[in-house]
Structure 1
């Protein structure tokens, strides 16, 4: 039996993954709250990228889809519903040659799930 709450969360995550693969910032904006940011530790320093700065970066580069990359790395690893309006989802994806593990914090506002925070790590795939 499916859980409607999990299904709604996974639908938001799928919109994110589709937007990332397609380079479609309308989908990214749909999945990510306007106040959201991306966080990572790069070279020992905290990197904080607001959603709109990230969208401009996405728009400035060819999408994985345009480069005929596969989506073999896209997968949801876990969903942790921490309350009626909060959840954490761990996903893998790739924009070759980089492989990402993302921790997506989601909140439910106005009846829909949105990513409020993405904390990620990236590694280069051997190839």
Structure 2
């Protein structure tokens, strides 16, 4: 694992975090591959499988954390695991209050740049 690889991966993860915080779907589209999806387990125990464009529409329909005056103190990169020249996994925390997220971002390197190909996440509601 080279420092350049780690820096490139962290750079695209920062674009994702900025897009999420700002509600900027152009940044989300830049960081997520067009074929990507988001996965979670819903409250009813069923699989949530949300394609990137459906997610972007949801982001566009809600106020951003930035617009709500939320800080970014919950953002943390917990781990970066590079498993080859073209695959990596990043675990991170972020929040859209009152929900606190743990994200697992699977990344691939295509055409010389890293992109998120899938996001698996869990959300918890923070006590006020």
Alignment partner of 1:83: what SS? coil
Separation in structure 2 between the aligned mates of residue 68 and residue 110 of structure 1, nearest angstrom: 37
CA distance in 2 between counterparts of 1:80 and 1:112 reads 17
Question: In structure 1, the residue corresponding to 2:66 is in which secondary structure?
Answer: coil
Supply the distance in 2 between the matched residues of 1:45 and 1:61 (Cα, whole angstroms).
23
| Structure 1 runs, 4 residues or longer, greater than 2 Å off | none
- Alignment match, 2:119: 118
Residue of structure 2 in register with 1:4 after alignment: 4
3-state DSSP of counterpart to 2:103:
strand
> Over aligned residue pairs, what C-alpha RMSD do you find?
0.7
Q: Tell me what 1:28 maps to.
A: 28
Displacement of 1:62 after TM fit? Answer: 0.4
How far off its partner does 1:65 sit?
Answer: 0.2
- Tell me the distance in 1 between the aligned counterparts of 2:22 and 2:101: 16
**Corresponding residue number in structure 2 for 1:46:** 47
CA deviations on 1:88-117 (whole Å, 9 max, x unpaired) are 000000000000000000000000000000
Residue matched to 1:62: 63
| Structure 2 equivalent of residue 90 of structure 1 | 91
With normalisation by structure 2, the TM-score equals 0.97
Q: Which runs of 5+ in 2 are unaligned?
A: none
How many Å separate the matches in 1 of 2:93 and 2:48?
Answer: 19
Gaps of 5+ in 1: none
Aligned length in residues: 126
